[in-house]
A and B are shown apart, each in its own frame.
Chain A
Amino acid sequence: MAAAVPAGCWVRTAAALLLACCGAALASGVQDQAEQFFRSGHTNNWAVLVCTSRFWFNYRHVANTLSVYRSVKRLGIPDSHIVLMLADDMACNPRNPKPATVFSHKNMELNVYGDDVEVDYRSYEVTVENFLRVLTGRIPPSTPRSKRLLSDDRSNILIYMTGHGGNGFLKFQDSEEITNVELADAFEQMWQKRRYNELLFIIDTCQGASMYERFYSPNIMALASSQVGEDSLSHQPDLGIGVHLMDRYTFYVLEFLEEIHPASQTNMNDLFQVCPKSLCVSTPGHRTDLFQRDPQNVLITDFFGSVRKVEITTETISLDSDLADFESTLPKDELPTEPLKYAEQLPVAQIIHQKPKQKDWHPPGGFILGLWALIIMVFFKTYGIKHMKHIF
């Protein structure tokens, strides 16, 4: 008897506890969703998409970049917030059998070039120096607004890079390279000036994981298509065009992004699973230790789309239409303007008649001085020291 009653009590209390837990979980779930809305803290989105290789056989790198560009535009980031750098022109390349198109799927299924591509840095303008200038903001004042990254401390930036790379570097235009140390320093410069709120860095090159190894600034999440020592492979050639159309990793990322729409709640963990080794042959990697939020809570649209925070306007001010006077209108009639003359922009007369400027003479310094002193000493040693008296 005594044993049966406690058992009955136990069951009841256990059931009550379970219900309470469920209730609490449900309530916190609803509250979580409400908090989710405010969790990321960014107010605008930027994207910097870079393709670093030229020549026709690197068609796939341009197609990679354009497919990410297309997804990012579809999900809402406007052209004014995208800096697109393409190192070569594939759509109008003389070897392109279908001009004005760049395909990403074989049999020419998907034209990622589209109708309204806005390329900001093209062909020879894609250099390491320009890329670093865009990131750090140290741009000459004459640069147009579309070529600048005008992000602020509440911007989430997506940086996508593709091309040929190696262990610790990425090759630009087959003539120069950017090292992972320089990239990490550039991101640190951005952090110091608070040019980003959170940064997502995706790289699709061989040994891509080496590029994010050296990052040390906070709020950076990085994805790469292959680990150090592995090569990233291309996906499928198109026999009509004659080159490989896409890289595997970006191909599967594009397929994943095609299913995302601006209101979707898919999070970053799904993006990490995108290209398993069976499909990609290389092992994609990611790095989240510098990122403060849990990737579970990071929406794909936090970086790839541009979902704004809005507030309903509940206040108004009251304007008195009678008080407003016309004093401030029409000041134009007051000053008689002089007729404007065309100003000579290049003062040709002055240039032709000017004398060459005297360049200041500086004495040779350091290394050159030492080298010459050495050569003179050796000369006089060889030919005899008594010749030295002719100098002194």
Chain B
Amino acid sequence: QVLLAVPVAVVFAPGSVPGDLPRPLPFRDVQEMEISVNLRTGVTARYETVYRSTTAQEEAALGAATAREADAALHLLQDASLGSLTVYVVPETSSVLPQGASVYVGKHRSALVRTGGGLAALRARLRQLTQVMSFTASSIASALSDRVPDSQLGPDARRHLKSSLGYEITFSLLNPDPKAHDVDWDIEDAVNRYVQPVLDKLSLVANFSVDSQILYYAVLGVTPRFDKESSSFLLSAHSLPHVINPVEARLGSSAASLYPVLNFLLYVPERSHSPLYIQDKDGAPVSTNAFHSPRWGGIMVYNVEAPASPQASLPLHVDVDMVRVMEVFLAQLRLLFGLSREELPPDFLLESPGNEGLADWELDRLLWAHTVENIATVSTTLTSLAQLLDKIGNIVIKDDVASEVYRAVASAQSAMAELAVGHLHSAFQASKEAVTSSERAFFDPSLLHLLYFPDDQKFAIYIPLFLPMAVPILLSLAKIVRESRQRKKEPTKMD
């Protein structure tokens, strides 16, 4: 049973206090919500809410012209720790929120809500907001997906990357037609400018390593169809799954590290197959011209315009527009991690995270899910290790394996304690340590059950060896016993 505590602060700007508050400001409130995953596993979410009114500085910040400026100003005033949320309630007449949007979710950990309708409506909004910004029942269920019976999970729940200590990201440029295109991509610069900020933000979650390569004469496994109406080549949605396999063999993705690999491929189609567009299920061309595969990576098709005159000399020099490419790849990276912005209610206005790639509260979402997943993994691993030891009684546990197990248990307990208090950062670190220790203990090479003889095999080996030898020993022992008993019976004879 895990308790997840989320500290929430609700700050009322002057003029926005609903009339039917139970107690005068400031006051505290605690709400609990049960998320039960299966019969024995459940997660309790506790929202510890503090209601207060604004300070003068916050009031000044809320008077800003746009929501974005207000958010930036408020961020400087807060010291929001990981996992906490602050919700500012502004009066209906306030102009900081644009018309038509009643909720604005900022880049950091705060949100602006327009009041209206009293306390009950406000509470409903708050619940919606906290679920968006921290975790929902379905995100917890998908984090614990191996405990949920299969029928209950939708197909989306199994798609996200599992929590791991590190990930390796590989960018590959595929050029199947070097005679026609001389493609040049400044990947190092693009990685430093666009990818590194996102990875720096995600560095709390895991270690990332990035590499890149260029592959020549690497073709897709599918021949695209020519469409006369648009005079372009089309790849239909149902042929996409077969595109990846022929390329994968050449990617060399199993080179160095044992971490999961995310491949991002940029494909420049051949001259004879240009322009190439990807069709979705309805037959419309996809605006990004890209698709991704869960837990594997993504592919984007980069079309090169035909040369202006047919006499232009081949190969054409192509400088890849890395901004466009990185926008798609980073969006795919977010989707692979499970951060999608499409499932939100329509009147929510979300601030774009800009170059950082993801907002602070999206990082929090990842951390909540990963922490819960880590703790569940630790408990499953240690339980199955205990079951293994029960079954094969004479396995020798080495000292370092034992110390890893103790460390895993201690870290898991501290992670759960931190979660119950609401310190997401330290809970996540503790859960990472717990997972590392438990994996090291479980996968220790010395625990192979083959190396320990079961008792019946021991008997089968030693009895034919020792039984013939033991027979005269046992007989002489019997003789000793008999003689000593006889001597006891006739003590007088010794005189």
Q: How far is the CB of A77 from chain B (nearest CB, A)?
A: 8
Q: Which residues of chain B come closer than 8 Å to A318, judged between CB atoms?
A: 327, 352, 354
Q: Which among B244, B253, B255, B331 is the interface contact of A313 at CB below 8 angstroms?
A: B331
Binary interface encoding of chain B residues 341-369 relative to chain A, with 1 for a CB under 8 A from any of its CBs, else 0: 11000000000111101000000000000
Given contact pairs A80-B254, A189-B388, A310-B291, A138 touches B447 in the complex (Cβ within 8 A)? yes
The reply to whether B354 and A312 contact each other, CB–CB distance below 8 Å, is no
CA distance A189 to B298 in the complex (A): 33
Residues of B361-410 at the interface with A, using a CB-CB cut-off of 8 Å, are: 380-381, 384, 387-388, 391
Residue of B nearest to A144 (CB): B254
Inter-chain contact A312/B278, CB cutoff 8 Å: yes
Name the B residues within 8 Å of A146 (CB-CB). Answer: 254
Which residues of chain B are near A150, meaning CB under 8 Å? 258
Within 8 A of B (CB), among A335-367: none
Interface string of B416-455 (1 = CB under 8 A from A): 0000000000000000000000000011111111110000
Find chain B residues with CB under 8 A from A262 CB. 242, 245
CB contact under 8 A between A193 and B381, given known A312-B278, A312-B291: yes
Interface centre among A79, A320, A324, A325, by most chain B C-beta atoms within 10 angstroms, is: A324
Q: B290: which A residues are within 8 A, CB to CB?
A: 312-313
0/1 interface trace, chain A 103-136, chain B, CB 8 Å (1 if under):
0000000000000000000000000110011001
CA distance A325 to B293 in the complex (A): 31
In the complex, which of the residues A78, A133, A381 contacts B476, with contact meaning CB atoms closer than 8 Å? A381
Cross-chain contact B253 with A153 (CB below 8 angstroms): no
User: Which of chain A's residues 8-65 have a Cβ closer than 8 Å to chain B?
Assistant: 38, 41, 43-44
Q: Which of B192, B294, B352 contacts A326 (CB 8 A)?
A: B192
Residues of B within 8 Å of A375, CB to CB, are 473
**Contact assessment for B326 and A314 in the assembled complex, using a CB-CB cutoff below 8 Å:** no
Contacts of B249 in A (CB 8 A): 78-80
In the assembled complex, the CB of A17 is this many whole angstroms from the nearest CB of chain B, namely: 31
Q: Of the 9-residue stretches B47-55, B76-84, B132-140, B332-340, which lies at the interface with chain A?
A: B332-340
Q: Is the CB of A309 within 8 A of B293?
A: yes
Judge if B306 is at the interface, Cβ distance under 8 Å: no
Cβ-defined contact, B245 with A306, below 8 A = yes
Cβ proximity bits B174-188 to A, threshold 8 Å, 1 near / 0 not: 000000000000000
Q: Is the CB of A78 within 8 A of B245?
A: yes
Minimum distance in angstroms from B369 CB to a CB of chain A: 15
Do the beta carbons of A317 and B159 come within 8 Å of each other? Answer: no
Asked if A312 meets B286 with Cβ closer than 8 Å, knowing A43-B159, A133-B445, A194-B146, the reply is yes
Could you give, for residues 302-313 of chain A, a 1 whenever the CB lies within 8 Å of some chain B CB and a 0 otherwise? Answer: 000011111111
In the complex, what residues of B have CB within 8 A of residue A76's CB?
242, 245-246
In the complex, per-residue mask of B130-162: 1 if CB is within 8 Å of any chain A CB, else 0: 000000000000000110001000010011001
A-B contact count (CB 8 A): 180
* Set B255, B280, B326, B354: member contacting A323, Cβ < 8 A: B354
**In B247-294, which residues have CB < 8 Å from any A CB?**
248-249, 253-256, 258, 278, 280, 286-288, 290-294
A313 and B332 within 8 A (CB): yes
CB B183 to nearest CB in A, in angstroms, measures 20
Determine the interface band of chain A, counting residues with CB < 8 A from chain B.
Answer: 35 or more
When C-beta atoms are compared, the residue in chain A nearest to B381 turns out to be A193
List chain A residues, Cβ under 8 A from B245: 76-78, 262, 306, 308
Residues of A within 8 A of B355 (CB): 319-320, 323-324
Q: B residues within 8 A CB of A41? A: 150, 155, 158
Give complex CA distance A381, B145 in Å. Answer: 70
CB of A378 within 8 A of CB of B448, answer no
Contact present for B296 and A308 (CB under 8 Å): yes
Determine which of B150, B241, B246, B384 lies in contact with A193 in the assembled complex, contact meaning CB atoms within 8 Å: B384
Which chain B residues lie closer than 8 Å to A185 at the CB level? 391, 449
Cα separation A309 to B335 with both chains bound (whole Å): 14
Asked whether A374 is an interface residue with its Cβ less than 8 Å from the other chain, the reply is: yes
Q: Do residues B286 and A313 form an inter-chain contact, with CB atoms below 8 A?
A: yes
Interface pair A182/B450, CB less than 8 Å apart: yes
Using known A-B contacts A262-B245, A316-B327, A328-B196, determine if residue A381 contacts B480 with beta carbons closer than 8 Å: yes
Q: Given contacts A193-B384, A292-B150, A311-B293, list 19 more A-B pairs with CB under 8 A.
A: A41-B158, A76-B245, A79-B249, A132-B450, A133-B445, A138-B445, A145-B258, A153-B146, A192-B388, A307-B241, A308-B296, A309-B293, A314-B287, A315-B331, A317-B352, A318-B352, A319-B323, A319-B327, A323-B354
Which positions in B face A, CB cutoff 8 Å? 145-146, 150, 155, 158-159, 162, 189, 192-194, 196-197, 237, 240-242, 244-246, 248-249, 253-256, 258, 278, 280, 286-288, 290-296, 298, 300, 323, 326-328, 330-332, 334-335, 340-342, 352-355, 357, 380-381, 384, 387-388, 391, 442-451, 473, 476-477, 479-480
12 A/B residue pairs, CB under 8 Å, sorted by A: A132-B448, A145-B254, A145-B256, A145-B258, A192-B387, A310-B293, A311-B292, A316-B331, A317-B330, A326-B192, A375-B473, A382-B476
